[in-house]
Amino acid sequence: MRLQGKVALITGGGGGIGRETALLFAQEGAQLVVVDVNDGAGHDTVKAVEAQGGEAIYVHADVARAADCAAMVAAAEEHFGKLTVLFNNAGIMHSQDDDAMQTDEDIWDLTMSINLKGVFLGCKFGIPALRRAGGGSIINTASFVALLGAATPQLAYTASKGGVLSMTRELAVIHARENIRVNALCPGPLRTEMLMKFLNTEEKRQRRLVHIPMGRFGEAKEMAYAALYLASDESSFVTGAEFVVDGGITAAYVTPEGA
């Protein structure tokens, strides 16, 4: 088992990438702390982990609140004795996120609070726990739009994910000599509820698909396998990386019309 003896905390664990990662990590031997604001979804993930023979607890936490982030890390140490993998995965993509002229300030602030501040707070309280455990792995969910502009305007989301990527690099450098690795997972467009709600017309979906060489959206489980590598000791010399899993979208050149 690739994660035997590890304790992993996953924010946004109630669905999408978070749930698939929780299930996969448990199959590989990790004990899980599932974090979400949707209690029903979070408890469902725990039940799914337990149904396959794994061990998990659920913690309600809003990652934009310092007290909640402190509490989720404390719960990991209290219940399992340590924390060795921190997956800062929680995030939003608001339907009213648009270009600079159309995006309201409150949508910008909400997106930054969850997507960027949430990663900061996870690291603020998670890094001391990883130190106490003798080291570990931090995985921050960024995005392919941290590397290039999106075809469909989503300015707050794009800016927040760029911030996650920059913060990941700096944290990796700061903590490299402490046996703490920090990497950014950069998914391409996924067939998840979050993105499909945003790409809510066939025209919007096709505008995105035309840029993907593989011609399809990625699956949450494909991101879970990437996270598994970053969480495991197999990636022991990997830190500060942009781990891009995007169906080739950042490697391709197309015109805006997709020709």
List the catalytic residues: 157
Any bridge partners for residue 9, and if so which? 33, 86
Residue where the block lists tokens 């990790």: 30
Contacts of 40 (CB under 8 A, 6+ apart): 14
Query: HSE of 102 in the Cβ direction (CA atoms, 13 Å)?
Result: 10
Residue where the block lists tokens 């499909």: 196
Q: How many CB atoms lie within 10 A of CB 191?
A: 14
Closest CA to 90 of 126, 72, 115: 115
Phi first, then psi: give them for residue 238, nearest 5 degrees.
-110, 115
Q: 28 near 105, Cβ under 8 Å?
A: no
Residue where the block lists tokens 């979400």: 36
Helix (H, G, I), strand (E, B), or coil: what is residue 82? coil
Residue 46: both structure tokens together: 């725990």
